[in-house]
Amino acid sequence: MTTVATHEGEWTPSTRRRVLDTAVRLFSRYSFAGTSLQTIADELGLTKAAIYYHFRTREHLLLALMAPILTEIAKVVEAAEAERDAGARADVMLTGYADIVAANRALAAITTFDPSVRNVLREQPEWSAVIDRQFALLADEDSGVAGGVNAAVVLTGLAGGASMASRHIDDDTLRAELVDIGRRVLGLSEPDS
């Protein structure tokens, strides 16, 4: 966890980090649309002004929360698109996505499921494009209707599986299960390595 020296000289998680962590928890529970900056401030015992010091609007807070996970997805999309054949492209996208959702369980669910979050992301051309490319990598064009449905099930199902998984399942075990499931859905065999 990021720590900073407070004016009192103690090392504590930065206020910015505490706001972001509390926001994930509240968005998971009440949805983005159902959580005001006031609620986040109350939960932390801060004034709303203290929140505004770090985030100009609720949308800015959401984008600050999403940026790391979306940046990671963008990197996986780039790596997957560099592969030659469709199967390898889908497998790189799948394994990268499983990594990300296993390590960011609550955030993955918010990003994938919350309609009010999707509306904010849709207004960001850069992130919308990444999400579209991610979908295209998983949807085998040659398999028509089935390809699109398979991709949608993998994207939502892996995020759902990660967010519902017990905390007792460690990230590596969860990731391996999600990759296996994704390969069965997409009809991919385990690549030789």
Sequence-distant (6+) residues with CB within 8 A of 9 are none
Report the nearest approach of a copy of itself to the CB of residue 88 (Å): 20
CB of 192 to a copy of itself, least distance (A): 22
Structure tokens at 140: 């085998």
CB of residue 33 to a copy of itself, shortest distance in Å:
2
Q: Of 78, 144, 65, give the one whose Cα is nearest residue 109.
A: 65
Bridge partners (DSSP) of residue 11 are: 5
Subset of 128-147 contacting a copy of itself (CB under 8 A): 145-146
**Where in 3-62 is the site for a copy of itself (CB under 8 A)?**
27-35
> Which lies closer to a copy of itself via its Cβ, residue 19 or residue 155?
155
Q: Is residue 170 helix, strand or coil?
A: coil
Can you tell me whether residue 31 is helix, strand or coil? coil
Count other Cβ atoms within 10 Å, centred on residue 157: 15
Helices and strands of the chain, counted as H and E runs:
10, 2
Q: Is there binding between residue 173 and a copy of itself (CB under 8 A)?
A: yes
Is 148 a residue that touches a copy of itself (CB under 8 A)?
Answer: yes
Binding residues (CB under 8 A) for a copy of itself: these are 27-35, 109, 112-116, 119, 145-146, 148-150, 152-161, 163-166, 169, 173-174, 177-178, 180-181, 184-185, 187
